[in-house]
Amino acid sequence: MTQGPAPRALSDEALSDLLGGQRFGTLATTKRSGHPHLTTMLYSWDPEARVARFSTTADRVKVQHLRREPRAALHVQGGNVWSFAVVEGEAEVSEPTVAPGDAVGRELLSMIPADARPEDEDAFLRGLVDEHRVVIRLKAQRLYGTALDIEG
């Protein structure tokens, strides 16, 4: 068997760029049994604050997991199957948005890329309240990932 190139560790800047260039990742929380709970999530990455933000509803199992055990990880695939980034850290879960346009609702709105913002922001913010939306903020304590420089 021929030995191919070894994976190379990505710099902090390259990891942040990879995280900022993707929108979906796999969020890992911990079940009461200690087993991982994995779920595909839409996220937004704030490189200055080193925080990944997620929108979800207050009744989701991942929220229960994070309120009990805040350690979590986000795995994001790079532009090909040979690269990835992981954010490890402690997550905090906001209280649900309770009034259209409150701080949580505005934070949720800010997570949407400018070109995808809803035309009727007021209706959108009311919908967030109706859905009992919360923000999960995963604060990066560690970033890691690799790339493998091969074709295919």
In the Cβ-directed half-sphere of 39, how many Cα atoms lie within 13 Å? 16
Q: What is the pLDDT along the chain (152 residues), one digit of tens a residue?
A: 567 788 899 999 999 999 999 999 999 999 999 999 999 999 999 999 999 999 999 999 999 999 999 999 999 999 888 899 999 999 999 999 999 999 999 999 999 998 999 999 999 999 999 999 999 999 999 999 999 887 65
In the Cβ-directed half-sphere of 19, how many Cα atoms lie within 13 Å? 31
Ordered DSSP codes for 36-58:
EEEEEEEEEEETTTTEEEEEEET
pTM equals 0.93
So what's the pLDDT on residue 151?
Answer: 67
